[in-house]
Structure 1
């Protein structure tokens, strides 16, 4: 089930096919290296537990001390992972969504997105109901940003604007039991980076993004998306 919410509440409830007919719901114009294993600068023959010593029969293989990284990897290989099907939004969504209140300023929005390292945040009213979606793309629209020649006051005015002035609304959303393939189609149709996940009252209780879906597809142990 898909929904559309705006500042006046729920505007639509229906299937993906019906959603595609709604006007206004269109397209939006370090890894750490592990330390070397098995060598500490001494000759390999003299080092107990070295690969050379094992091959030469100086020590038993079972007596070789194991590097913590190697041991941890070996343990993961001993676990038999059972595939299970992923089919609904609830299987992959982020359950602790980052939201922004509709009383926040554009500056508040900038700071939240930068602090959390995300590209979008659902905007909610005082009761937690969805009213819009703020994206980094909206903040960076050329026609919205003051030019370099404009005075500092122009930037201050922009930063003190309310997020309701620039957020995307009405905004499509989805329920937790919706089919993932249909959600993927809506993301392609709208160009949105993700959809807020709402309950029957329109309260935001999750967020499903393209990254969530891709992560589920490539996750190890492997997951069967279409089950």
Structure 2
């Protein structure tokens, strides 16, 4: 399920697959889709999997026989420190950051930039005075050549640019997903919008986290296994 929020509140709620059709009607000129083709977002997994270890073991080689003492030590360690239960990462809730860094729409561009730098993030959801999601402020959007003053412009022009409110340059309306959204559909939304991440909201529309492309990539290289074909 996908929701799109703007300065007027909730603007759309429905399937992520309808994002290509809905987004242009919301006149979100600041959101640009990537050129990656995604005509078959629901292509099923081929099912061809290589059994673990088959590619590494030499054909006909017998596995090493562990020593009794080593086996005993390993067994004792497993009893004292049992391995955590593993489960496939299938939904946004499995990879999202539960505490999102946010900015206020009343902040200046300079204040927003400073907050991103202090928190070490490249984007942050924008909230209004009532704490409602109204947009997304990204470092990449701010640094786009068509938005920045020219290098030869005066100091006053640059100061004016940094002093304007975030509301003037934030991406709005902005799509948001719920924690139960399958990761495959999240990936589709990121490709369609070209955004670096999406806010995560509850069914009631409250901001409860953020999920970025980096979160998905981290899941790819860490246990437990990532299942992009779930849902």
Give the TM-score band, short-chain normalised.
0.7 to 0.9
Aligned pairs for 1:1-227 (under 5 A) are: 1-22=1-22, 23=24, 24=27, 27=32, 80-220=83-223, 222-225=224-227
**TM-score (ref. length: structure 1):** 0.73
Q: Structure 2 unaligned segments of length 5 or more: list them.
A: 35-68, 70-76
Partner of 1:39: none
Query: Could you give the per-residue CA deviations for residues 96-152 of structure 1, whole angstroms, max 9, x where no partner exists?
Result: 100001111100111011111111100011222110001111111112212222111
Paired residues of 1:5 and 1:131 also in contact (CA < 8 A): yes
107 and 174 in structure 1: CA distance in 2 versus 1, 3 angstrom threshold: same
**TM-score (ref. length: structure 2):** 0.72
Query: Could you give the per-residue CA deviations for residues 69-93 of structure 1, whole angstroms, max 9, x where no partner exists?
Result: xxxxxx79x8545420221111111
Computed over aligned residues only, the root mean square deviation of the Cα atoms, in angstroms, reads: 2.1
TM superposition shift of 1:27: 2.2
TM superposition shift of 1:18: 1.8
Number of equivalent positions: 181
Paired residues of 2:104 and 2:127 also in contact (CA < 8 A): yes
Partner of 1:68: none
Instruction: State the alpha-carbon separation in 2 of the partners of residues 16 and 201 from structure 1.
Output: 18
**Structure label with greater radius of gyration:** 1
TM superposition shift of 1:191: 1.0
Q: Structure 1 unaligned segments of length 5 or more: list them.
A: 30-61, 63-74
